[in-house]
Amino acid sequence: MDLIDLRSDTVTKPTPEMRAAMAKAEVGDDVYEDDPTVNKLQEMAAEMLGKEAALFVPSGTMGNLLALLAHCQRGEEVIVGDQSHIYLNEAGGMAALGGMQACPVKNRSDGTLALDDILASIRSEDVHHPITQLICLENTQNICGGVPLTAAYTRAVGELAHSNNLRLHVDGARIFNSAVAQNVSAKELAAPADSVMFCLSKGLCAPIGSMLAGTKTFIKRARHLRKMVGGGMRQAGIVAAAGIYSLENMIERLDEDHARARKLADGLRQVKGLVVDAGSPSTNMVYFNLADDVTLSAEQISLEMGKRGVIIGPENERRFRFVTHYWIDDAAVEKTVSAFNKIIQ
Ligand SMILES: *Cc1c(COP(=O)(O)O)cnc(C)c1O
């Protein structure tokens, strides 16, 4: 039985074509910057994001951490969304490894931070206060529904940051989902930011890896920090080859994942007992709750779905997030909706 795994787009296994590209990758020692495949991937990523340089890193978490470490000194403060991955899901790395303090600002339901809230969170010059150094945005904003942030909003935050002598980092783990959903280039979404991170290992299907992009000086510093945290890899071209395949072949098709997420949401809306979030999905994530009269818990439903070959992970006792991706086809969407109908009725 082919399993239908809707927990995340991180579950995407590499395609056969991607594995073939990996097998024939030319490699070298990337710590010496000798790996031609890694170098090519870094040039491609920098070009696509409109930045001077880029760095291949093992994970998105490391990419964000290196950005924070490169932008900030110990004791400095970072403005982050209170629903952001950096704040909630990176094991407190900024505090533990960078000695930085997070200044959480409320994420609104559209994924944005209100400009007034950001402004109010910037510390004044005072011997008692930490120094505000950096603002972080997340695009798409995962917990708010996989919602894309617009280029105009990002520009406004960039202007606010720069006019206050701060820098802007964009956690763009899914920036290509955002770009495709809005029919704009990733370059345009990244333009206002001093640094951007995106993941190859999510909807783009690569097995491992993320990219961090910014100025040459910033990337030089990030490369040094990458070595410090143990992220200097050797013949990394074998995995970088998958990343190149992703950038060349996996971006435009993200539209299909978005269309299937809409189809899945439409199907789930017909299931009595499920309440899909208004407006969901924006990209490849469908968020929904169990109605009050459903007596089964999300956990029990997950177990039942598992028996029918559909792997899901509840967000909490009453809430789910389903993520569509390369390995979810129309039949998988239909099978999921019909399994729900059987279990809940
Ligand atoms: C997945 C994700 C990350 C981190 O990526 P990993 O490769 O899992 O470490 C960072 N930010 C966001 C918004 C993500 O969804």
pLDDT-derived band of residue 345, with 50, 70 and 90 as boundaries? confident
pLDDT of residue 2: 82
Q: What's the confidence (pLDDT) of residue 74?
A: 97
Q: How many Å lie between the centroid of ligand 1 and the Cα of residue 199?
A: 7
Q: Which residue minimizes the CA distance to atom 15 of ligand 1?
A: 173
- Nearest Cα to 324, choosing from 202, 179, 229? 202
Q: Give which of 192, 249, 181 is closest to 51, Cα–Cα.
A: 192
Closest-CA residue, ligand 1 atom 10, reads 60
Task: Give the pLDDT confidence of 248-306 residue by residue, as tens digits.
Answer: 999 999 999 999 999 999 999 999 999 999 999 999 999 999 999 999 999 999 999 99
Residue 201 CA: which ligand 1 atom is closest? 7
Pocket test for ligand 1, best of 59, 199, 211 (most atoms within 8 A of CB): 199
Q: Residue 1: is its pLDDT beyond 70?
A: no
Report the mean per-residue pLDDT for the chain: 97
- Check residue 333 and give its pLDDT: 97
Q: What is the distance in A from the centroid of ligand 1 to the CA of 234?
A: 23
**pLDDT tens string 157-202:** 999 999 999 999 999 999 999 999 999 999 999 999 999 999 999 9
Q: Which of 10, 61, 205 most suits a substitution to test ligand 1, by most atoms within 8 Å of the C-beta? A: 61
**pLDDT tens, residue by residue, 295-342:** 999 999 999 999 999 999 899 999 999 999 999 999 999 999 999 999
% helix / strand / coil in the chain, to the nearest 5? 45, 15, 40
Query: Where, residue-wise, is CATH 3.40.640.10 in the chain?
Result: 14-249
Segment 213-261, tens digit of pLDDT: 999 999 999 999 999 999 999 999 999 999 999 999 999 999 999 999 9
In this structure, the residues whose C-beta lies within 6 A of any atom of ligand 1 are: 59-61, 64, 85, 138, 142, 171, 173, 199, 201, 210
pLDDT score, position 322: 97
For residue 163, the surrounding DSSP H or E stretch is helix 151-163
Full DSSP string of 314-326? BSSSSEEEEE--T
Centre of ligand 1 to C-alpha 214, Å, is: 18
* Architecture label for domain 14-249: 3-Layer(aba) Sandwich (3.40)
Ranges in the chain annotated CATH 3.90.1150.10: 253-344
What is the residue with the minimal CA distance to atom 6 of ligand 1? 60
What percentage of the chain exceeds 70 in pLDDT?
Answer: 100
Question: Which of the listed CATH numbers 3.30.300.90, 3.90.1150.10, 3.40.228.10, 3.40.1710.10 matches domain 253-344?
Answer: 3.90.1150.10
Q: Is the pTM of this model over 0.95?
A: yes
Sheet of strand 77-81, all strands in order from the earlier edge strand to the far edge: 53-57, 210-214, 195-199, 167-171, 132-138, 77-81, 101-105
Using the mean position of ligand 1's atoms as its centre, give its distance from the Cα of residue 37 in Å.
23
Ligand 1 centre to CA of 91 (Å) is: 12
Kindly give the number of the ligand 1 atom that is closest to the alpha carbon of 210.
7
C-alpha pair distances (Å), 326 with each of 75, 106, 137, 174: 42, 32, 26, 14
Cα 92-211-110 angle, rounded to 5 deg: 65
Residue nearest to atom 8 of ligand 1 (CA): 60
Alpha carbon of 272 to ligand 1 centroid (Å) = 33
The one-letter code for the residue type at 59 is S
Ligand 1 centroid – CA 139 distance (Å): 11
Sorting pLDDT into bands at 50, 70 and 90, what band is 36? very high
